[in-house]
């Protein structure tokens, strides 16, 4: 089981060209990427995607270094999703 691939960093590009980044199982605070994506936090052209890939290319080295705040944000987001699903089922 030691050779099973593991995704340590994922960049998700949505239809509206907004970006979501995950390190391990935690999402990265997208506001921390304003320096690259601008105030709208979206790709306006393809060149920032290359910079984004380069920025996170070494994330496997420090995937355990996800901040406590990022972990809390992920938990809160999952709880909100769960509440929405529960409300929709009622």
Specify if 70 maps to a domain. Answer: yes
pLDDT value, residue 23: 82
Specify if 1 maps to a domain. Answer: no
Of 42, 3, 6, residue with least CA distance to 25: 6
Specify if 69 maps to a domain. Answer: yes
Compute the residue count for the chain.
90
Specify if 3 maps to a domain. Answer: no
Instruction: Decide: helix, strand or coil at residue 6.
Output: coil
Structural domains of the chain, count: 1
pLDDT tens-digit profile of 61-89?
554 456 777 778 778 887 888 888 888 77
Specify if 4 maps to a domain. Answer: no
pLDDT value, residue 63: 47
pLDDT tens-digit profile of 7-52?
788 889 999 999 988 887 778 888 888 888 888 889 988 888 888 8
pLDDT value, residue 16: 92
Residue 43 domain boundaries: 9-89
């Amino acid at each position: 089981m030691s050779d099973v691939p593991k995704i340590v960093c994922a960049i998700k590009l949505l239809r509206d060209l907004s970006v979501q980044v995950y390190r391990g199982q935690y999402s990265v605070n997208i506001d921390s990427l304003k320096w690259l994506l601008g105030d709208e936090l979206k790709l306006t052209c393809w060149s920032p995607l290359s910079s984004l890939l380069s920025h996170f290319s070494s994330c496997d080295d420090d995937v355990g270094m996800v901040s406590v705040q990022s972990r809390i944000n992920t938990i809160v987001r999952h709880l909100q999703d769960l509440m929405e699903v529960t409300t929709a089922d009622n």
